[in-house]
Every structure is written in structure tokens, then in C-alpha cells.
């Protein structure tokens, strides 16, 4: 019997019910627009705040470029089954490449806004190292050593919670309290992004590595994690940038 499965041969074609492809496209456009906004607004800020806004632009620009590649990868693998359901291969590798570049930059933002309170490069180093450990071990568990995903997931989660501790209760939190005012307020919002917004990533790891693991019941949720990842990425990265932008606007206005 002839195979009734249809493949998308061009990344320019998208089925109406291809929600993954749609969110890749929307995510790319949203983050590209955010990057343009941050870059074009740089001249309105004091010099000491421009770097923070520049980093926000880099985060969203890098993500937008990777989302173009991820959508192409997804579209090249998409098939429409007999029931009319769209399926395809998740761009795990490209997603982690994006994260290994953008997540450390998001951690850098904490250091940049806390420099006014005397943040040292040791904080910057700690945040970057923890974020890299979180991502590298996550990738190893999800794509390389899948048979020991629980072990690698433990290391990744440990690094994530170390970041959470640092910004909520550790040295970064103390510096934010010393800075007070707008810096403290911005720091708290960024902390909530990490605690609440980033939680989708370890949950996605559980679902993505559920087969044969002690947490296999997560695989029964029936969630398409690519859609959730795409929405979370856009909210977290653009939201991070807007918090930094608002802080820079307030601080530049005060010193004007």
C-alpha cells in the first residue's frame, strides 16, 4: 500500500495545524523585533547602562537567528499522517546551541546591573560557569547519554538551583539589597523570571527523556514541548530585556 504520509519539502510551506512551525516563526519575528528595538534605543542611555541594553539586544538577536535555523530543521522533517496530524523532529541540537550562547548572557545581566553596588567579576564567573554546567549536562542527558538521563539531569538541576540560590539568597541578592531602589526592583523581577519562567526547561527535560526513566509518567502528558519551549523562550528573553530597558530608562532619566 502506498505510503499516505506527506512531507514538507520546503521550509517556506507550513500546514495550518503546524503549531510548532508557527511558534518558531512567531518567536523568530518577535525576538528579531525586540533586538532591533534594543539596538536602536542605545543612544538614549547613559554610557554605563548601554552595555546592559546591548546585551539584551544580543540575546534576542542570537535567539532570532537560531529560531530561523530551528524552523528550517523542523520544516524539513515535518510529515502529515493519515489522521492529519503534523509531526516532525525536534531541533534539540540547535536549541542547546542557542541556549549555550543566550543563557550565560542572561546571567551576565545580573552582574551588569549590580555593578553599581560593587559586583565583582567573581560573581560574573560564577553565574556563567553554573549556566554552562546546567546546559552542557542537560544536553548530554537529553541527546548523548540518554540511558543515564536521570544522572545528568540531576547535575543540570543542581546547577540551576545554585543559580536560583545565588540570585535569591546569595551574594547577588545581598548586592541588590545594597543597591536598593530601581536596581533592587529590577533584580527581583529578573529573579522571578529565573524561578518561574525557567522552570519550563527542566520540566521539558523530564518529558523529553521520559522513556525508560523513573519519571516516565511525565511522557503521558501529551504536551508538545517545542511549542512550550518556543513560547517560554520568547517571554523569558524578551521579558529579561524589557526589565533591563526599563531600569536603564529610569536611571538615565535621573542622571539627565
Supply φ then ψ for residue 215, to 5 degrees: -105, 30
- Which residue is listed with cell 518561574? 196
What's the chain's average pLDDT?
Answer: 87
**Is residue 74 a part of any domain in this protein?**
yes
Supply φ then ψ for residue 161, to 5 degrees: -70, -25
**Is residue 129 a part of any domain in this protein?**
yes
Q: What is the pTM of this model?
A: 0.88
**Is residue 176 a part of any domain in this protein?**
yes
116-152: per-residue pLDDT in tens?
889 999 999 999 999 999 999 999 999 999 889 889 9
Q: Are 78 and 21 in contact (CB under 8 A)?
A: yes
Which residue segment(s) compose the domain that 96 sits in?
6-255
- Number of domains composing the chain: 1
Alpha carbon distance 194, 186 (integer Å)? 13
CATH number reported for the structural domain that contains residue 224 in this entry: 1.20.1070.10
Q: Are 204 and 230 in contact (CB under 8 A)?
A: no
**Is residue 153 a part of any domain in this protein?**
yes
**Is residue 214 a part of any domain in this protein?**
yes
**Is residue 1 a part of any domain in this protein?**
no
On the question of pLDDT at 106 being above 90, the answer is yes
Q: How many residues does the chain have?
A: 256
**Is residue 244 a part of any domain in this protein?**
yes
**Is residue 142 a part of any domain in this protein?**
yes
On the question of pLDDT at 220 being above 60, the answer is no
Alpha carbon distance 22, 11 (integer Å)? 12
Amino acid at each position: 500500500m502506498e505510503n499516505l504520509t506527506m512531507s514538507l519539502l520546503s521550509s517556506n510551506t507550513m500546514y495550518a495545524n503546524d503549531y510548532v512551525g508557527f511558534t518558531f516563526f512567531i518567536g523568530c519575528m518577535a525576538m528579531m523585533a525586540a533586538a532591533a528595538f534594543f539596538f536602536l534605543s542605545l543612544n538614549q542611555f547613559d554610557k554605563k547602562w548601554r552595555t546592559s541594553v546591548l546585551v539584551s539586544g544580543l540575546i534576542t538577536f542570537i535567539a532570532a537567528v537560531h529560531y530561523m535555523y530551528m524552523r528550517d530543521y523542523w520544516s524539513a522533517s515535518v510529515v502529515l499522517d493519515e489522521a492529519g496530524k503534523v509531526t516532525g523532529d525536534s531541533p534539540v541540537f540547535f536549541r542547546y546551541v542557542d541556549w549555550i550562547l543566550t543563557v550565560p548572557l542572561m546571567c551576565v545581566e545580573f552582574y551588569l546591573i549590580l555593578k553599581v553596588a560593587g559586583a565583582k567579576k567573581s560573581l560574573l564567573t560564577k553565574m556563567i560557569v553554573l549556566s554552562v554546567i546546567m546546559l552542557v549536562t542537560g544536553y548530554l542527558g537529553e541527546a548523548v547519554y540518554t540511558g543515564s538521563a536521570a544522572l545528568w539531569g540531576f547535575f543540570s538541576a543542581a546547577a540551576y538551583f545554585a543559580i536560583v540560590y545565588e540570585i535569591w539568597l546569595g551574594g547577588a541578592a545581598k548586592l541588590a539589597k545594597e543597591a536598593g531602589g530601581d536596581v533592587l526592583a529590577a533584580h527581583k523581577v529578573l529573579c522571578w523570571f529565573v524561578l518561574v519562567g525557567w522552570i519550563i526547561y527542566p520540566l521539558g527535560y523530564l518529558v523529553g527523556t521520559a522513556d525508560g526513566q523513573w519519571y516516565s509518567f511525565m511522557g503521558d502528558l501529551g504536551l508538545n514541548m517545542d511549542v512550550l519551549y518556543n513560547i517560554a523562550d520568547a517571554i523569558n528573553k524578551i521579558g529579561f530585556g524589557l526589565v533591563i530597558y526599563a531600569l536603564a530608562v529610569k536611571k538615565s532619566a535621573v542622571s539627565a
